[in-house]
Amino acid sequence: MTAPDDPPLTGPGRDHGPADDADGTRVVRAGLPAEEPYEPPLPGPVFAAHYHLPGEVEDAPYAYGRDANPTWTRLERAIAELESPEDTDAEAVVFSSGMGAISAVLLSLARPGRTVVLPSDGYNLLAALRDRLEGFGVRVRTAPTGGNAQRHELEGASLLWLETPSNPGLDVCDIRELARLAHEQGALVAVDNTLATPLGQRPLLLGADISVASGTKALTGHGDVLLGYVATRNREVAEAVRGWRKTVGAIPGPMEAWLAHRSLATLDVRGQRQAGNALAVAEALAARPEVSDVRHPGLPGDPAHALASRQMSRYGCVVSFTLPDQAYANRFLAHLRLVSDATSFGGVRSTAERRGRWGGDPVPEGFVRLSVGVEDSADLVADIRRALDAAAPTPS
C-alpha cells in the first residue's frame, strides 16, 4: 500500500505556500492540512487499529492500523517537505524508533552476496546490524568517516551508508563527492542525518538517495518521544522500507507521531539556540588545559569545519571532548548542575555522558559527549567551568 492521498497540504510544492519560504516559515507549517473553519491547525492523533472499509482494499487510503494512519501521513509529508523542499515526489516513512528506520533500510535493501559499506565510527548499534547482515550472507566493509575514507571501499558495493557528522566523534564526510563515487559503482547512498536535522543538512539535495534519522533526538527535541524516519525520492526504496515496516510492525504510535509533528514547529528556533550555545561551550572547553580533543564542526579550528561549512547550514548541538581519565570524567559529570547525566542528544535540556560506559564506541575512557540545550549560554558555560574546577584531583 502506498502513502494515502490526503487533502491539500501547506508548504512548498503543495497547494499553499511558495517553495522559496525560509526554513523558519516552512517548518512551522509543514504537513498541515488545508485550513477548515473551526478546526485545529494540526488535528489530534487518530487512534485506530482498523477503519470502516467498504468495498475492496486496493485503493483504500486507510485499511488497517499497521499499514497507515492519518496522523503518520501528516508527519510524513511534513518531513518530506523539510528534507526535500523543492521536490514534491519526495516521500517519508516514519518508524517507532531511529533503529527501526535504520534497520528497515539496511535489511530491506541488502541481499546475500551483495556488499554494503558502513562507517566504522558510526552509532554503536551499527555493529549489531553488521553482524546481522553478515549472518544473512551480506558482505560488509567498514571505514572511518573522516577523510572520506569510505571511498576506498566502494568497488562492487550496492549500498553506501554515511553518518555525518558521526556520533559520537563528530567527524564529517563529503556527501556530494561520496554519492558521486558510489553512483558510479551503481550503489545507493544513505545518510544518517540525525545530528544535523533537515534544517542543518539536506542529504537528498547533496546527491544521496536516502536520508535517515532518529526523530527521538533534535527533531522532536523534548526527550519524550521515540521515533525514526526514512526520506527518499526513490519510489522503489520508499515501497521497500514501507513494506518492511508493515512486515515487522515497527510502526509509531499515533500519539508519538502527533507529538513529533507538534514539535517540528519549534525546530528552527531550538536548533539556532542550541547551535549558538554549543559553539560557546566548545570555545570554553577548548580554553581549558585539562580538556583535550574538543570537537564541534562549528569551531574554526575543528578538522571538519571547512567541509561542514560547505554542506551544513548549522553545526548542531553536540560537543565532544576528552578528560584525563574515567574517574575525572565521572567527577565532572557529578558536579554539573544544569547538565543532566543522560544518554541521547538534541533535547532542550542539556545532557552529557561518559560515552565509554556503554562500550562499543572506539573512544577514550575520559571521552564525554555533551548535548547542549536551550538554557542561557552564559549559565551553561559557568556551570561547566565550575564542574571542571571541582573535578580536578586534590593535590597530595
Residues in the chain: 396
- Could you write out the DSSP letters of every residue in 60-99? -S--BTTT--HHHHHHHHHHHHHH-TT-TT-EEEEESSHH
What cell numbers appear for 340 in the block? 543532566
Active-site entry in 171, 192, 209, 361: 192
Exposure pattern of 89-119 as b/e (b: 16+ CB <10 Å)?
ebbbbbbbbbbbbbbbbbbbbbeeebbbbbb
**Cis amide linkage into residue 168, ω under 30° from 0:** yes
Give yes or no for a contact between 33 and 71, defined as CB atoms under 8 angstroms apart: no
Task: Tell me 50's DSSP state.
Answer: B
Q: For residue 212, which of 301, 129, 304 has the smallest C-alpha distance?
A: 129
Active-site entry in 141, 217, 242, 270: 217
Active site annotation includes 246: no
Give yes or no for a contact between 32 and 74, defined as CB atoms under 8 angstroms apart: yes
Alpha-carbon distance of 240 to 242, in angstroms, equals 5
What cell numbers appear for 114 in the block? 551483495
Active site annotation includes 379: no
Give the CB-side neighbour count of residue 320, counting CA atoms within 13 A: 23
Active-site entry in 64, 66, 151, 331: 66
Active-site entry in 123, 229, 315, 328: 123
Active site annotation includes 192: yes
Q: For residue 296, which of 395, 368, 192 has the smallest C-alpha distance?
A: 368
Annotated catalytic sites, by residue? Answer: 66, 123, 192, 217
